[in-house]
Structure 1
Amino acid sequence: MLSILKQHLLANPIGTSFPLPPFCLMVGGVSGVGKSALAGQLAQRLGAHLETTDHLREALRTAYPAEFYPELHAHSYTAWRLLPQNGLKTPKVFQGLQTQARLLEKGVQAVASRVAREGRSLVLEGVHLLPGHPIRAGYPLNVTVLLVVRSPQEHLRRLKQRAQTTRRDAGEALAHFSQVRALQEALERRARLHRIPIIAADEPGAEEAVLALLKHQSQGGRP
């Protein structure tokens, strides 16, 4: 379906014949899939405000010490180690991410509501944007996508490149690559359950696919 939507977008580009209403676009995905790059490109192209859950988590870390909220100070793919044993069937690595996401939920909601009151569209990216948990901030258009990298080899290459070229902490993700991939699998299962579009960053046209979804849903279509 995404290929059909992309073809429709090429015939009727956004910004020329079909302006979008104010929107909230959430781009989820694990470390190293290209969320920041894609979200930045989309925000610039569409004139939207850009925010990331990593910035919100960093702000909360200064307010909530590690001795009281250790899971907040862990990585998204290692927070599960801090959880007590339980009988839940949900993968433990996803439970750890859920714990972090709950701590960030009010902050994410507050940011989205503030941007909405200012009359601006919002592009929000981060691993903590779980499929099935949309932001309710009064936007007439809400779209959520999950960005993935299908190929483990390509995912590993991207993390290695990020470790070499940026100051972001990709070394830890490389050291826990199996947990990162397990978390992506869990997010994909949840996305399919909630009918959230899954977009492969290692295939051509990821940006066009998101634009096509925005346009399609602004016209009342379903993902």
Structure 2
Amino acid sequence: MRIQIDGKKIPYPLGSLRGRLLLAGLSELQAAQAIHEILTSEDLKDPEETDLQKLVLSWLATNKLSSVAHYENLLAYDRARSRPDGPPPIIVAIEGASATGKSMIALDLLTRLNATRYISTDTVRHMLRGMFSETSHPELHCHTYQAFRHKQEGPTELHETVRGFISQTNLVQPKIMELTHRVLLEGAMGVVEGVHMIPGSLHSLGSSAIEVLVSPSEELHEAMFQTKRSVGKLKSVSGDEGERRDEFEATCRIQEFMLSKARIENVTIVEFEHYEGAVEQISSRILETVDALI
């Protein structure tokens, strides 16, 4: 499919339209039905972007869906962003300890936001490992729940596992902040995900930076943690059951620390039982932010 923008025909990704409809509140089935009926409409001939938007609004109104108000607000936000003095782009930061579901949630949100910038804190940690040797910074060359063996920082009353996590995060988080700030200046929508963000750390970036902490039940968290090697095919994850149990206990301590910080810093805590439910909770938070920005 192609649409006209500024008098030029360019390819238009249907995934972008699908994501916007899902963010507005449509189900997967409703979004698929809407796209099919719009694409087969006789009115869709060499459309401009505004023509496509009108067809979507008409379809939503015809089918009497309450999502029409959300879709209209998203369009208003996009138009406002085109102005020199318009609102900033939205950045969603998905936080939580290892194996809480952050990465898979991020993939879904990239589509819903039509975000073109993605920052993984694990990727940043890998880049830093290339800059700092294991000899100089051993706390960087291990998992967050193992860092305490090499270095500990933060209040002494905290558990050693948490203090090790803080020592590794103190190396990674400043780079995350720097990259996220650059994305905001660039004007691009983005998603940041990973363990190396202490809740509340992005408050300084402004009202368009949304922090959420993913919080599965302990039973679900343990199941996801124990199956991370088989599901993710990660060679860096131990296959020893006893070792993994100890590592899960350490991870729980990090998660509890992050939960306590989220409550203090008023960061949204997403209760996670299913991916669909978690994504819907975050989508609602995004829509609230859009309403506030326009």
TM-score by length of 1: 0.83
With a CA cutoff of 8 Å and minimum separation of 6, indicate the structure with the bigger relative contact order.
Answer: 1
Aligned to 1:118: 186
Q: CA deviation at 1:136?
A: 4.5
Say whether 1:18 aligns with 2:73. Answer: yes
Aligned to 2:231: 165
**CA deviations over 1:184-213 (Å, ceiling 9, x no partner):** 111111111111111122256110110111
C-alpha change, 1:104 and 1:161, in structure 2 (3 Å) is same
Q: Of the candidates 7, 16, 41, which is equivalent to residue 108 of structure 2?
A: 41
Say whether 1:146 aligns with 2:213. Answer: yes
**CA deviations over 1:147-169 (Å, ceiling 9, x no partner):** 0211x332222223331132223
Aligned to 2:272: 201
Q: CA deviation at 1:9?
A: 5.5
What 5-or-longer segments of structure 2 have no aligned partner? 1-23, 27-65, 78-86
What secondary structure does 1:78 align onto? helix
1:109·1:136 contact (CA, 8 Å) conserved in 2?
A: no
Say whether 1:187 aligns with 2:236. Answer: no
What secondary structure does 1:146 align onto? strand
My pick for the range that moved more, 57-66 or 43-52, is 43-52
What 5-or-longer segments of structure 1 have no aligned partner? 1-7
Amino acid at match of 2:224: R
Where in structure 2 are the equivalents of 1:41-60 lying within 5 Å?
41-48=108-115, 49-60=117-128
Say whether 1:212 aligns with 2:284. Answer: yes
Aligned to 1:30: 97
Where in structure 2 are the equivalents of 1:83-102 lying within 5 Å?
83=151, 88-102=156-170
Distance 1:201 1:166 in 2: 19
2:140·2:168 contact (CA, 8 Å) conserved in 1?
A: yes
Aligned to 1:64: 132
Q: CA deviation at 1:171?
A: 2.9
2:200·2:261 contact (CA, 8 Å) conserved in 1?
A: yes
2:152·2:166 contact (CA, 8 Å) conserved in 1?
A: no
Instruction: Indicate the structure with greater helix content.
Output: 2
Distance 1:28 1:102 in 2: 15
What secondary structure does 1:144 align onto? strand
C-alpha change, 1:69 and 1:15, in structure 2 (3 Å) is farther
Aligned to 1:155: 221
Aligned to 1:5: none
Distance 2:95 2:69 in 1: 22
Larger radius of gyration: 2
Say whether 1:177 aligns with 2:248. Answer: yes
Give the total of aligned pairs: 212
Distance 1:13 1:50 in 2: 28
Where in structure 2 are the equivalents of 1:126-141 lying within 5 Å?
126-134=194-202, 136-137=204-205, 141=208
2:25·2:70 contact (CA, 8 Å) conserved in 1?
A: no
2:145·2:251 contact (CA, 8 Å) conserved in 1?
A: yes
Distance 1:13 1:174 in 2: 47
Aligned to 2:41: none
Q: CA deviation at 1:98?
A: 1.6
Distance 1:170 1:31 in 2: 11
Identical aligned pairs, as a percentage?
Answer: 25
Amino acid at match of 1:174: R
C-alpha change, 1:184 and 1:42, in structure 2 (3 Å) is same
What secondary structure does 2:94 align onto? strand
